Amino acid sequence: MSVEDLHLNLRNLQESDYPQLKRLMDGIYDDIGGAWPEHTINRLVAEFPDGQIVIEDGEMLVGVALTALVDYDAFSNPHKYDDLIGQREVILNNPEGDALYGLDVLIDPNYRGYRLGRRLYEARKELCRSMNLRSILAGGRIPQYHEYAAELSATDYIDKVERREIYDPILSFQLANGFLVKRLMRQYLPEDESSQGYATLLEWNNILFEPVERVLESRKTMIRVGAVQWQMRKFDCVESVLQQVEYYVDALSDYQSDFAVFPELFNTPLIGLLEDQSDPVRCIRFLAGFTERFKQEISRMAVAYNINIVAGSMVEVGDDNELYNVTYLCHRDGEIDRQAKLHITPQERRDWIIKGGDELAVFETDAGRIGMLICYDVEFPELSRLLADQDMDILMVPFWTDTKNSYLRVRHCAQARAIENECYVVVCGSVGNLPSIESLDIQYAQSAVFSPSDFSFPHDAVMAETTPNTEMIMFSDLDLERLKVVRSEGSVTNLKDRRKDLFDLRLRDWSWKSGSRQD
């Protein structure tokens, strides 16, 4: 048959299709009884029309998928085919079911080789997602098993099919379409001599499923991030800086952003209020004196403008009187979280005596789970991987770089973190020149949002980016559902494919330093 002669159409089964359906089933299922009775099909169509899917070529049925709604807990455990059938061969479709059960998939032998079965399976998966069902279950026959039964147990046969040492027309197809074998079922269909009565319990898991009781309280899945590429400028007072911050928060809020992100140490121009700048440590401790006020004011803005704010970073004096470079997450409900910079650059350590923090965490927000790494920290891949192991959706990276080569270190490492951890990464920096203040003479930045590198994301894995070295704001809409899909069904699945049998990664417990660890 020539491909040019095909005129394929996907639609739902109708009662008038029964004669053609019977022809298909009688021809394919001649060894296990042939077609369902007409009243069985008509009732299934009436009770669950969306689940009965056909492919027609012109007006001829060439592919069919029959499906029922079932209770997941009942059918995700060993069962028999008869458990699906009531009196008078009525298929027991459960309107309150939370899973699909694949009854039959049939392709006209003359149309095999065109991957029509894959089309039907994809249509089933889309139905499962659209109905917010937990999974697709199926009892899969193993019709080639009779040829190997004398030498292989059913378990060994399945294992060899999974390793592609044996081809089974049903099981091999199911595995190729993302189904997993949960268990072996005995006497599933006793009359199925080819399978020796065995069947596999197969499951395709809907990773987008949300339990009904959580639908109303579930977090957003489409979120908007706004970032401020901040101009380092001379300020004559603290109020001027806060006024500029509020200006940007107001603007980002007007565009319904869920997050506003500021750069690392964005309030450093306040050092200019100090007459004598000869001592770098004195300068940075002077700057740290404004941090508490900034934290409280920015938290107020987060609540007032209904936006979560990643407050760049600021210098904090710790309880031990040491200096830390800290970013604050000011939630729009008033809560404040903190993340200290863990890896301190040689300049910070030498000139300002900044100390690295000891704790790393993912923070739950009303718009996803986020991690925060300050500038240099993103160049250490272990940190992002630890956050990814805690189901991080978005990594926020406030940074401060002076030259393009130092900026590119941050950018390239951030983009690698997005790919290897299958998450979004937001990098946000400052621009401008301020020669009158030590360490603020030059800036270089091009803020950006990076994504995993796969088909559902931009071809260059860049969601958005600013004009280099220009004060501006940037927006990007991030679909958190795409992260779930790429982690489960992407072209590559970096997180799933790690060789944990060869290596592992863990964060040491340093809580004893603060006396918070419970023995």
Residues annotated as catalytic (active site), given as ranges: 264, 341, 375
Read off the tokens for 437: 């203040």
Three-state SS at 44: helix
- Name 286's Cβ contacts closer than 8 Å, sequence gap at least 6: 270, 271, 273, 274
Helix (H) or strand (E) holding 23: helix 18-28
User: Token digits for 448?
Assistant: 């950006």
CA dist., res. 285 & res. 325, Å (int):
12
Residue 56's alpha-carbon distances to 10, 15, 20, 21, 436, in angstroms, are: 7, 15, 10, 11, 76
Beta bridge partners, 102, equal: 67, 138
Cβ atoms of 443 and 433 within 8 Å: the answer is yes
The SS3 call for residue 67 is strand
Residue (of 41, 172, 173) closest to 119 by Cα position: 173
Reported in sequence order, the residue ranges of 373-416 that DSSP labels E, i.e. its strands, are 394-398
3-state secondary structure of 252: helix
Structure-block tokens of residue 435:
């020669």
The amino acid sitting at 238 is: V
Sheet holding 368-372, edge to edge: 363-365, 368-372, 394-398, 424-428, 448-450, 462-465
Q: Dump the DSSP string for 486-508.
A: HHHHSSS-TTTT--TTT------
Closest among 245, 263, 339 to 301, alpha carbons compared: 245
Alpha-carbon distance values, 494 to 204, 423, 426, 483 (Å): 20, 11, 20, 12
